[in-house]
Structure 1
Amino acid sequence: MTEAAGPTILGVDVFLVATLLAAVATFAMLVALYAATTVRDPMAKRVKALNDRREQLKAGITASARRERKSLTQKNETTDRMRSLLKSLNTLQDDQLQQAQQRLAQAGIRSKDLAVAVIFGRLVLPIVIGGGLAIAVFGFGYLADYTPFKKFMIVGGTFLLSYKAPDLYVSNKVAKRSNEIRKGLPDALDLLVICAEAGLTVDAAFTRVARELGAAYPELGDEFALTAIELGFLTERRQAFENLAYRVDLEAVRGVVTTMIQTEKYGTPLASALRVLSAEFRNERMMRAEEKAARLPAIMTIPLILFILPVLFVVILGPAACSISDNFVGG
């Protein structure tokens, strides 16, 4: 006697599907519990790095530990090799290098040596990836079923994408980081106003704002903490504010930097100027939210037509269609 088979849907055992879904749900619950019990302060690592940088500036050295010196030396040797190769090919220009360094700084990457790696990647990736695909397609007959035009388009697109891949990666990190900084800038200006009215100095105000907003906006807290350190060490305080505008790709931050420089130069009241800027940035954030809300009906039109209306028609017209079919069959 054979055992009765379990219920199936489209030929799939229901009990097997239920068991798999239960296993996935259990695994997701364990991951959620682990994530909830191992929450870490996002500013702890950043504050430690900034404090290490402060100690390095005090001591006038680049690294203190032997392992860090060894890795830094190896990195510099690799970078020097890349730089020498690019210079021998006449593909390393000063303005191009400075632009790459600024983009890396805006992406939150402090090492200027990686700018050489970005330019080197623009040269090497098309040769390695695009050239390898071209050899595979035209030399070894890969994608033989495709037409010559399709092969040419695929190889050409691979060359272009591999050339733009380093810039696309850096631009993506810059956009994400700038967006996070934009969200927390009005709150940071409000706290700066409070600190200025309380009588704190500018560098102390930046330090306090970085500590208060570090958990909610780590990128903004990182930039403010670094600015506070530079205000304490650089001979010209103006340079510290200009470095902040250099590291952040936002027009709003440039406006704040201009206000801070004018305040330092002419002695104008800092709190009133920052209060005006904070109100403007909050209005701008509200306008962006209203713009997104106004675009929502147009964005929801296609999902509404494809997914919601068919289900609604089935639910409304289904019982009537079944009733009509039963009457015709019974008749």
Structure 2
Amino acid sequence: MDAPAPVGTLFGLTATDVGTLLAALATLAMLFALYAVMTVRDPMAKRVKALNERREQLKAGITASTGKRRASLVKKNQTTDNMRSFLSSLKVLQDDQLKDAQIRLAQAGIRSKDLAVAVIFGRMFMPIIIGGLAVILLYVVGIQPEWGPLKRFFAFAITLILAYKAPDLYIDNKVTKRSAAIRKGLPDALDLLVICAEAGLTVDAAFNRVARELGKAYPELGDEFQLTAIELSFLTERRMAFENLATRVKLDAVKGVVTTMIQTEKYGTPLASALRVLSAEFRHDRMMRAEEKAARLPAIMTVPLILFILPTLFVVILGPAACSISEAF
């Protein structure tokens, strides 16, 4: 009697086992997709909460008669308070440095001013901590025994520099991404502001309306416009609200819009016509940047074309001819 034919296996698993595992993975993926769809969160929920807190702070600063109401709205962070006390005891916490860090955090979309103390604390102590670990790993443990003294020194120096610049690099990256997102939606926001101004809405109502309309498509821009509308309603000087917007957004275009808004508030010039000119200018600028990127594309594609496409093309074209020549000889 002939023996049964051997069944093919993969890592000791038969075809039935592999099919069962794939079906189980597909089921888990489907369940995860359903969970992700059913538990989707509103991206504006966190921003709305922060804006409401800012509204309450401004309201308390204007209407509160006692300091108890203000103190209940200003949340203290024990960790940052300890950092502030420690840095103040060392005489290294300067007001200009703290203000600059707060502005950078605001441009990155981080509203908490207490984190500026954490940034300065990180600049000071991250090089000490990470540099100490680098010394232990390089000179005590000897993770790279083949490295000479010069390589070890350069590795230690690069580690110190990166540890010192890490907070600034992180904040700069967030500022760049946020500024690019705001720049992308600014022409549409100005068009909506023009429509609102021509419809007879006030400036703060127009900013509030634009923030609601563009909050889903451009959440960063909607966040800034909503905060500006809140400050326009509560601050004693409307000019301060526009200047705060220019401070929070690191864009020359936003500074131009703020200058226009301040001039219209001061001299009574038509707001709709000025915003329409700015919107057309920003759209032209966006088109010019797109054309500039398109013009750089041939030069960027030259290296991949030479390295990946041309060798394959030569093989396809010259391969049959080379085979025929080798057979002939």
Normalising to structure 2: TM-score of the pair? 0.86
Provide the aligned length of Structure 1 versus Structure 2.
Answer: 317
Partner of 1:146: 147
Q: Secondary structure at the match of 1:144?
A: coil
Q: Which amino acid aligns with 2:93?
A: L
Following superposition of structure 1 onto structure 2, how do residues 255-274 of structure 1 map, counting pairs within 5 Å? Answer: 255-274=256-275
Structure 1 residue 145, shift from structure 2 partner: 1.4
1:293 maps to: 294
CA distance in 1 between partners of 2:134 and 2:106 (Å): 33
Mind listing any 5+ residue stretches in structure 1 that lack a counterpart? 8-13
Indicate whether 1:320 and 2:321 are aligned.
yes
Matched, 1:41 2:31: no
Q: Which residue of 2 aligns with 1:87?
A: 88
Counterpart CA distance in 1 for 2:186 and 2:29 is 35
Equivalent residues of 1:102, 1:246 under 8 A apart: yes
In the alignment, which residue of structure 1 is the partner of 2:179? 178
Amino acid at match of 1:98: K
* Residue matched to 1:107: 108
- The C-alpha deviation readout for 1:20-46, integer Å capped at 9, x for no partner, is 999888876766665555544322332
Is the Cα contact below 8 Å between 1:42 and 1:214 reproduced in 2? no
- Conserved in 2, the CA contact under 8 Å of 1:104 and 1:115? yes
Q: Which moved more, 1:168-177 or 1:24-33?
A: 24-33
Please tell me the residue identity of whatever aligns with 1:190. D
Shift of residue 132 of structure 1?
1.5
Counterpart of 1:3 in structure 2 is 6
RMSD in angstroms over aligned alpha carbons? 3.0
C-alpha distance in 2, partners of 1:131/1:274?
55
Structure 2 residue aligned with 1:160: 161
Once the two structures are overlaid, the 10-residue window that deviates more, 42-51 or 248-257, is 42-51
8 Å Cα contact 1:86-1:92 kept in structure 2: yes
Aligned residues of 1:41 and 1:215 also touching (Cα < 8 A): no
Q: Percent identity?
A: 74
Which stretches in structure 2 are left out of the alignment for 5+ residues? none
Q: 2:212 maps to which residue? A: 211
1:134: which partner in 2? 135
Are the counterparts in 1 of residues 58 and 235 from structure 2 also a CA contact under 8 Å? no
SS in 2 for 1:42: coil
**Matched residue, 1:10:** none
After superposition, the Cα gap between the structure-2 partners of 1:300 and 1:31, relative to the gap in structure 1 and judged at 3 Å, is: farther
Alignment check: 8 A CA contact 2:185 2:218 kept: yes
Match of residue 284 from structure 2: 283
Quickly say closer, same or farther: Cα 1:179–1:19, change in 2 above 3 A: farther
Structure 2 CA distance for partners of 1:62 and 1:42, relative to 1, 3 Å: farther
Q: Does 1:221 align with 2:257?
A: no
Q: For residue 259 of structure 2, what is the amino acid of its counterpart?
A: T
